[in-house]
Amino acid sequence: MVHPLVPSDRVEAAAVYGRDGQKIGTIERLMLEKKAGTVAYAVVKCGGFLKGNTHHYPLPWNSLNYNVAREAYEVDVTLEELQSGPSELDGKAFDWGDRSPIYQYPQYWTL
Amino acid sequence: MVHPLVPSDRVEAAAVYGRDGQKIGTIERLMLEKKAGTVAYAVVKCGGFLKGNTHHYPLPWNSLNYNVAREAYEVDVTLEELQSGPSELDGKAFDWGDRSPIYQYPQYWTL
């Protein structure tokens, strides 16, 4: 039987692969609607190896398809497409103490 | 302006206080409905200091009230009440590879 629930700390740190089979990044955290307790979107962390710049992209929950064999999420988008979108929260360090710099377009693409 | 979203990794590790003001434990993880992306319940970790036994209790999302000043969640229940309920998943180590030992009564009390 497939379990209907998944623990948040299993989702976090899971890899995300794009339509082209390339790895986009890993899920860093989930943004939750406080009242409803619903995942608004996942924040995917990309890069940060060479330039020290880590980029963060929002991906709607329903865009994430878990591939059991791969043990990773797959999305119908590529890193290039994400990078071309307005939703990037540049390489600044995340400061959750300041909640104002939220993604302006958390759902600029949907599936 | 109060932000309508909260990051999952801020929720995790937050302390939870009971109706009597005593600390019940800390949020260990959230259990999410895979399809809907809704938090089914939070898993609160308690104890584990003296006996080495950590207990886990499910608390429905809507039972958790965040106290900004306290920077912690408050619930209208006490640790004793949780312990008297059937939802305890004893002191066994969590093995998320085996998803079968799920709480039998994840919502045996609701607010």
What value of ipTM does the predicted structure carry?
0.77
pTM of the model: 0.78
Beta strands in chain A (DSSP E): 5-7, 15-17, 23-33, 39-47, 54-60, 65-67, 72-74
Q: Do B4 and A34 touch (CB under 8 A)?
A: yes
Task: Describe chain B by its helix, strand, coil percentages, rounded to 5.
Answer: 10, 35, 55
Question: CA quadruple A69, A73, A27, A10: dihedral positive or negative?
Answer: negative
Is A22 a residue whose pLDDT tops 60?
yes
Q: Is B65 on the interface with A (CB under 8 A)?
A: no
Determine the residue among A10, A12, A26, A32 to mutate to test chain B binding: the one whose Cβ has the most chain B Cβ atoms within 10 Å.
A32
Residues in chain B within 8 Å Cβ distance of A8: 8, 12, 29-32
Grouping H, G, I as helix, E, B as strand and the rest as coil, residue A81 is helix
Q: Do B8 and A5 touch (CB under 8 A)?
A: no
Q: Give tens-digit pLDDT for A58-108.
A: 888 988 999 989 999 999 988 888 776 545 555 455 555 555 555 544 444
- Per-residue confidence of chain B (111 residues) as pLDDT tens digits? 467 888 899 999 899 999 999 999 999 899 898 889 999 889 888 876 665 567 788 888 988 999 989 999 999 988 888 776 545 555 455 555 555 555 545 544 443
